[in-house]
Structure 1
Amino acid sequence: MTSDPDGDDRFVAPPRWVGPSADPADEQFGDVVDSTTLAATDHDAVLVGEPYDGAVIGRRGAADAPAAIREELAALKTRHLAGSTPPTLGDLGDVVVSDGDVAAVQRGLAETTRAVHALDALPVFLGGDNSLTVANVTPLLDRDVGVVNLDAHLDVRRVRDGPTSGTPYRQLHDAGLAGYVCLGARHFETAGPYVDTLDEWGWQAVPAEAVGGGGVEGAVDRALDALSEVETLYVSVDCDVLDAAAAPGVSAPTPGGLSTRELFGIVRQLCADPRLRGVEVVECAPPLDASGRTVAAAARVVAHALAGTAVDADTGAESAEVTG
């Protein structure tokens, strides 16, 4: 990437998007994504890269994810089987991450994300580590926002020597987050006091096994029912919500997680909610996965999120209602 030619020093200009297929029937995301700027965009949704992993508690590598997700997404076909018209998609490029400690990075980035949220377009943030959720959600706190966090962990650790990738939702709670559901949480992966904290705050965790037992639709219903009173919805996808076999390239891979098929269906249905004001994919670490499975899943999460926002022009039905 190069600096933004329009002079916005908050972003590094995005790469040129190209679909790699030579088949003229293959419309790929690389054929339809436009490079854009805050001043010029008129797209339905915009990509925002956040190449930072300075707050990771465990293994690093998530700073490489925005570029890798873009490359994988460029090769995906744009057509969902429902036939819904995909939203127009622009790419603002990667944010310029300020120097300093994690708290300073969060504060600086929040100023940039505030400008992104001021657009009419839906922001799709490509992380980066989970600490950036604070910056991505903070500009929405005046809108009575609730978060569905697709994650193996609750991420409500106490802030001790500064924020980490394990503290974002405690920080957001203290700043006024109206509601929270962790969907896909794992047993035996979170300290007992933090589970108790969730109960004290009236927040909820839906374990991964509930998806297998009650199905995707039941899990989504539980999450949205818990957030039925909030005005605004934000969806965060931490790639470690997937089973370790499906996503080894994360900071803390664990068994017992969601399948990719379950995750895609959940994301699609959540993103069909008309209150949606932002989506992020975090904690994808390409250097930790030589097979490329984690990046492949992360890029498809973006595609399914966009499909969820699309409304069929003829029937008015969200593509998320299509099974499979």
Structure 2
Amino acid sequence: MNLTPAPEWTGTSADPNDDQFGDQVEEAVLETASDYDAVLVGEPYDGAVIGRKGAAEGPDEIRESLAGLKTHHFDEGPVTSVGDLGNVAGAADADSVSDAQSMFQEVAERVHDLGALPVFVGGDNSLSYANASPLLERGTLGVVSFDAHLDCREVRGDPSSGTPYRQLFEAGLDSLAVVGARDFETSTAYADYLDEQGGTVVTAESVGRDPDGALADATAVLDDVDQLYVSVDIDVLDAAYPGSSAPTPGGLQPRELFRLVRHLAGDDRVVGFEIVETAPPLDSNGRTVAAAARTIAHFLAGYSE
């Protein structure tokens, strides 16, 4: 397993009362990971992107944005006990997407054994297969995927950022709830496939009408699983946040996403979290990167409740 050393985390404020993530997140190694409630793992890879590339730059830019955030949440209190294991190295030189997935899968399997909640910072959506598949051997698994798309495409040749949940179902995934999906962004064949697997789709429109009811509808299909894995593809946000490979109109607002991931994080069955497809070169004034960093902060606030 090849991880580069974590960057040095420092706060950006001169006010000693400003406790920031830059002051709280500590550089960690495998041997110290169990000292933390959660550990970050950067996954700089976008070799499987169907659309516009740029997600390989996500991990470092998201870290930089997160470092400047205050740690205090008004309802949950301050976020503490977070380590950073650094970035997975070498995947950019892999001969194929399948080989890259195998490399990330090897890292994820080890990280899931460390005793701290893994927070994978991607990177493209093909990594969802690598990050979640080691959990399939540890009990029943359900995924909540915040995404504009279903990502259940058939694998034709090499996997892509559109195939991870087809791959997971074929490997034994028990259930999938997609939250924030957009009308006119998927094919009927893939919607039918997800329905045949017993999964569910909660549209962005449904979230806009009733966020709490939408989350209840999503988790209803996950009642019988032992483990929950939470995935956020940043393109679940409206196209006003353009820093992803496939931004589209009609998506979630950040406030809705923050609320939903924070509530999900409080479920005792949560065993992992990821954020994927944040592409800084495609962003406007850093607003998508900032939303991604805050999504991680809200999830950690809910998890440490």
After TM superposition, the score normalised by the length of structure 1 is 0.91
16, 28, 31: which one aligns with 1:24: 16
8 Å Cα contact 2:24-2:82 kept in structure 1: yes
Per the TM alignment, residue 140 of structure 1 is displaced from its structure 2 partner at its CA by 0.3
Please tell me whether residue 55 in structure 1 is matched to residue 43 in structure 2: no
* Structure 1 counterpart of 2:302: 308
Secondary structure, aligned partner of 1:133: helix
Read off the aligned partner of 1:141 and give its amino acid letter: L
From the superposition, tell whether residues 83 and 106 of structure 1 become closer, same or farther in structure 2 (CA, over 3 Å). closer
Q: Structure 1 residue runs of 4+, over 4 Å off?
A: none
- Cα-Cα RMSD: 0.9
163, 178, 186: which one aligns with 2:182: 186
8 Å Cα contact 1:52-1:97 kept in structure 2: no
* Structure 1 counterpart of 2:201: 205
Per-residue deviation, residues 82-124 of structure 1 (Å, max 9, x unmatched): 1435240000000113322001111121111111000110000
Please tell me whether residue 221 in structure 1 is matched to residue 213 in structure 2: no
* Structure 2 counterpart of 1:104: 99
User: In structure 2, how many angstroms separate the alpha carbons of the residues matched to 1:198 and 1:299?
Assistant: 30
User: In structure 1, how many angstroms separate the alpha carbons of the residues matched to 2:157 and 2:304?
Assistant: 43
Query: Within 5 Å, which residues of 2 pair with 1:32-181?
Result: 32-41=24-33, 42-98=35-91, 99-142=94-137, 143-181=139-177
User: In structure 2, how many angstroms separate the alpha carbons of the residues matched to 1:11 and 1:58?
Assistant: 27
Read off the aligned partner of 1:234 and give its amino acid letter: Y
Report sequence identity in percent. Answer: 56
Secondary structure, aligned partner of 1:183: strand
Please tell me whether residue 230 in structure 1 is matched to residue 225 in structure 2: yes
User: In structure 2, how many angstroms separate the alpha carbons of the residues matched to 1:27 and 1:21?
Assistant: 9
239, 244, 248: which one aligns with 2:239: 244
User: In structure 2, how many angstroms separate the alpha carbons of the residues matched to 1:272 and 1:219?
Assistant: 17
User: In structure 1, how many angstroms separate the alpha carbons of the residues matched to 2:132 and 2:236?
Assistant: 20
User: In structure 2, how many angstroms separate the alpha carbons of the residues matched to 1:97 and 1:134?
Assistant: 18
Aligned residues: 301
Secondary structure, aligned partner of 2:59: helix
Structure 2, unpaired ranges of 5+? none
User: In structure 2, how many angstroms separate the alpha carbons of the residues matched to 1:92 and 1:148?
Assistant: 24
Structure 1, unpaired ranges of 5+? 1-8, 312-324
